[in-house]
Amino acid sequence: MSAPAGQRPAGSTLGVPQEGAANSTERAQSANTRHPLPREGGRGDGGLANEPSLLAALSAVIRRDLLLAMRRKSDVLTTLFFFIIVVSLFPLGIGPEMAMLRQIAPGVLWVAALLATMLSLNRLFAADHADGTLEQMALSAVPLGVLVTGKVIAHWLLSGLPLALLAPVLGLQFDLASGSLAVLVVSLLIGTPVLSLIGAVGAALTLGVRGGGVLVSLLVLPLYVPVLIFGAGAVEADLTGLGATAHLSLLAAFLALAAFFGPWATTVALRIALE
Amino acid sequence: MLEASNLECVRGEKSLFRDVSFRLAAGACLMVQGANGSGKTSLLRMLCGLAQPAQGEIRWDGEPIRKLAEDYRGELLYCGHAGALKDDLTALENAQISATLAGAPVAEDAARQALRQLGLKGREDLPARVLSAGQKRRVALSRLLLEKRRLWVLDEPLTALDKAAVATLCGVIDAHLAAGGMAVLTSHQDLPLATTRIEQLRLDS
C-alpha cells in the first residue's frame, strides 16, 4: 500500500488530464441523456452535468450585473460622483496649506472611498430580492455561494475598481507625491474588495428589513475600521518614509480572510432572508 | 417521486395547515387548492426548500430534500408570483440569463424558439419594461421549455395569461407529464389539462 502511495504524485500528474477528459465526455453524455425525462434516481449524473457550468454561471452573473449597470448608469455614477465631490471639498474647505493637506490626504481619500462603497451596498441584493431573481438563484443547481461571489465581484468592478483608479487623480489635489499615489492605488486595490465582501454580508443580513440602509451602516462600519486603519496607514507610512509593505501585507491578509468567509456568510444570511 | 409527510406550516402564532401528506409519482400532477391565505404559496415554497416546514418532511426519491440540496434543486423548476425578470434586459436576454443562472445555459436559437412557441414572436428583443403583464408572464414561463427539470412547481401560472396562452401552457404541461415529469400547481382558474393523472389537495381546514 505504502509504496504505490509514494509513487502516486508522479502517476497522478500524468493521470489527471486523461481523467478530466474522461469526465468531460461523460458529462457531455449525461447532459444529453438528461433530456428524456423519465429517469429515476439520476441525481448523481445531474450533479456532474452541472459541474462545467459553475464557471459559466459565475461569469454569467458578473456579465449580467455589468450589463444591468450599463443599462442604468446613474446608479454607478452616483457612487463615483459622491467620491469625487467629498474628496474635492476638503482642499476647498481647508485652503492651500500643503503640509496639512498632505497629512490628511490618506484619511480623507480612504474615508470617502469607504462611504461611497456603503452608498452602493443597498442596491447589491435589493433589486434581485424584489423581482424574485434571488429566489431563483437560491433554487439554482449552481451553489448559491458561486452566484453570490459573482455578484460581489461585479459590485467591486462597479464601485471599488473605479474608486481606486480615480483616487490618484483626486490625490493630486492634496499634493501627494507620485510614490504615495502609487501606494494609495495599491492599498485601494487590495482594500476595496474587502469592503465589497464585508458589505455583502451586511446587505444580505438587512435584506427586506425596513430602514435597512441605516442598519447596514451600523453593522458594516465597525467591520470596515481595520481596513480603513491599515489602508490609510499604508499611505501615511509611505509619506513618513517608513515603507508601506507591512500595512499592505496586513490588508492582503484581510482580503484573504474576507474572500474565504464573506461569500459563505452572505449565502447563509441570504437563505435566512428568503425564508 | 416526491413525498411529503405530515407537513405543518406556522405563520406567526397561527397554524395555516397541518398533517398535509401526499405522494407524487412520475407523470402525475398535483393541484393544490384553497382560499386566499390558506397557505398554498407557503406549501409550494416548502416543496422547493425555500421555507422549512414547522413539522414533517419532504423527500425526493426517498431522501430528505434538505440533504440533497443542489442535487434536488437541479431537478426542480419553481415559477412563483415574481417573474424574476429584469426590466432593463430584453425578453431574450432574460430567458437566456435565467437559464444560465439556473445552471443550464441555453443557446440563443433555443431561447428564441421557446419565446416564439409562447407567442412572443417579434418581441424577443424588446426590453421587458415595455411588455404587458401577460407577455412578461410568458417570458417567465419560457423557462419551462428551456430548463429540463423533472419537477415543476408552478404558483398561479395562469395569472394574466390570455386564452391562447393558457392553451399553449396546458399543452406544455401535458407534454411534460407525458414524458414522465411531475408538476405541482396552484390555480384559481380552470386548467384544461388532457392528462387524467391529476390529484387534488385541499388546504382549507
| ipTM, interface predicted TM-score of the complex | 0.89
Residues A8 and A124 in one domain: no
Residues B34 and B92 in one domain: no
Beta-carbon separation of A46 and B180 below 8 A: no
Question: Does A135 lie at the interface with B, CB-CB under 8 angstroms?
Answer: yes
Which residue segment(s) compose the domain that A23 sits in?
A: 1-51
Residues B54 and B5 in one domain: yes
Question: Does A51 lie at the interface with B, CB-CB under 8 angstroms?
Answer: no
Residues B165 and B127 in one domain: no
Res A191: pLDDT: 93
Residues B144 and B155 in one domain: no
Percent of chain A with pLDDT over 90: 47
Q: What is the pTM of this model?
A: 0.83
Res A25: pLDDT: 42
A60 in a structural domain: no
Q: Is the pLDDT of residue A3 over 50?
A: no
Residues A46 and A128 in one domain: no
Mean pLDDT of B151-170: 88
**Residues in chain A closer than 8 A to B88 (CB atoms):** 68, 71-72
Res A14: pLDDT: 40
First to last CA, chain A: 49
Res A111: pLDDT: 94
Which residue segment(s) compose the domain that B30 sits in?
A: 1-75+150-205
Mean pLDDT of A145-163: 93
Rounded distance, CA A44 to CA B146, Å? 21
Eight-state DSSP code of residue A174? G
Alpha-helical segments (H) within chain B:
40-48, 65-68, 70-73, 91-101, 108-117, 133-146, 163-178
Q: Which of A41, A49, A131 sits opposite B85 (nearest CB)?
A: A131
Residues B168 and B139 in one domain: no
Count up the domains in chain B and report the number. 2
Res A52: pLDDT: 52
Model pLDDT for residues B101-110, shown as the tens digit of each residue: 888 888 888 8
B80 in a structural domain: no
Distance from CA of B143 to the nearest CA of A (A): 11
Res B109: pLDDT: 87
Please, which pLDDT band fits residue B57 given cuts at 50, 70 and 90?
Answer: confident
Lowest mean pLDDT among A4-8, B21-25, B54-58: A4-8
Q: Are A216 and A206 a contacting pair, CB within 8 Å? A: yes
Res B205: pLDDT: 60
Residues B63 and B160 in one domain: yes
Lowest mean pLDDT among A210-214, B21-25, B77-81, B104-108: A210-214
CA B130, B131, B133 angle in degrees (round to 5)? Answer: 125
B114 vs A4, more confident: B114
**Residues in chain A closer than 8 A to B126 (CB atoms):** none
Mean pLDDT of B77-95: 88
A91 in a structural domain: yes
Please, which pLDDT band fits residue B164 given cuts at 50, 70 and 90?
Answer: confident
Mean residue pLDDT across chain A: 81
Residues A11 and A82 in one domain: no
Beta-carbon separation of B61 and A140 below 8 A: no
A46 in a structural domain: yes
Residues B1 and B63 in one domain: yes
Residues B125 and B163 in one domain: no
Distance from CA of B179 to the nearest CA of A (A): 6
- DSSP, collapsed to helix, strand or coil, labels residue B1 as coil
Question: Does A131 lie at the interface with B, CB-CB under 8 angstroms?
Answer: yes
Eight-state DSSP code of residue B120? -
Res A51: pLDDT: 54
Q: Is the pLDDT of residue A8 over 80?
A: no
Res A227: pLDDT: 93
Q: Is the pLDDT of residue A29 over 50?
A: no
**Residues in chain B closer than 8 A to A74 (CB atoms):** none
Residues B40 and B92 in one domain: no
Count up the domains in chain A and report the number. 2
Residue A87: CB partners within 8 Å, gap ≥ 6?
Answer: A108, A109, A112, A170, A173
Model pLDDT for residues B27-54, shown as the tens digit of each residue: 888 888 888 888 888 888 888 888 888 8
Test mutation, A30, A139, A275, chain B, max B CBs within 10 A: A139
Residue B163, classified by CB atoms within 10 Å of its CB into exposed (0-12), middle (13-18) or buried (19+), is exposed
B167 in a structural domain: yes
Q: Is the pLDDT of residue B67 over 80?
A: yes
Rounded distance, CA A272 to CA B97, Å? 25
Rounded distance, CA B62 to CA B54, Å? 20
CB contacts < 8 Å between A and B, how many?
A: 119
Test mutation, A54, A134, A136, A267, chain B, max B CBs within 10 A: A136
B56 in a structural domain: yes
Q: Is the pLDDT of residue A217 over 80?
A: yes
Model pLDDT for residues A84-100, shown as the tens digit of each residue: 999 999 888 888 888 88
Mean pLDDT of B78-105: 87
Mean pLDDT of A186-197: 94
Lowest mean pLDDT among A99-108, A235-244, B186-195: B186-195
Q: Is the pLDDT of residue A24 over 70?
A: no
First to last CA, chain B: 26
**Residues in chain A closer than 8 A to B157 (CB atoms):** none
Cα A167 to Cα A2, A87, A189, distances in angstroms: 57, 9, 10
Residues B59 and B105 in one domain: no
Model pLDDT for residues B119-147, shown as the tens digit of each residue: 888 888 888 889 888 889 898 888 888 88
